[in-house]
Amino acid sequence: MSTGAVAGPDGRLRCPWGLSTEDYIAYHDEEWGRPVHGDDALFERLCLEAFQSGLSWITILRRREGFRAAFAGFSIPAVARFTEADAARLLADEGIIRNRAKIEATLANARVLAGWQAGELDTLIWSFAPDRANRPAPKTLADVPAVTDASTALSKALKKRGLRFIGPTTAYALMQACGLVDDHLADCVARRG
């Protein structure tokens, strides 16, 4: 597989990973790398990236609506009120990834975040966005890191504040997905310039 941008079915150049399925094309073109703000929206991404750990992203992407239904649209206050009965319900829900540790981390993280001020998660996460001027556009997939100093620092900051299941690699995936960094390849149609 090529590591540079590849022409899609419409002839436009895209990151190679974004061409394997129609689901990926839409996610790549319309969502990945676009700025995401708002505590609940960032909580959703944080949770989905944690659930993705050890799995392919397409598995999570195709179950996203199931996750949203199961976790009350990722409303932090709503998820923070989930009970042991809710945890048992989630472990039986075939529409999501039924991993006890990830489910428990999601509920625990919601409880922690429910004690934060409105906008605090957004402000904290975005405070780790690196200066775009100091980040050249990657030309190939080999130029895209899995972990950076900023993602390591973000992971540490979130853990220090009580959040779980957010290591440096997951933190970097979050940064990519939420637009803190733009890792679309230099020739990719979705690159923001």
The string of pLDDT tens digits covering residues 41-98 is 999 999 999 999 999 999 999 999 999 999 999 999 999 999 999 999 999 999 999 9
37 is in an annotated binding site: no
* DSSP SS3 for 180: coil
Q: Is residue 184 part of an annotated ligand binding site?
A: yes
Using alpha carbons, list the distances in angstroms from residue 90 to 73, 76, 97: 14, 16, 9
Domain made up of 39-178: CATH architecture: Orthogonal Bundle (1.10)
Q: Annotation-wise, does 15 bind a ligand?
A: yes
Over range 103-119, report the average pLDDT. Answer: 98
Q: How many CB atoms lie within 10 A of CB 58?
A: 15
Domain ranges for the chain, please list them.
39-178
Q: What is the pTM of this model?
A: 0.95
For the chain, give the mean pLDDT: 96
Active-site residues, by number, are 27, 49, 57
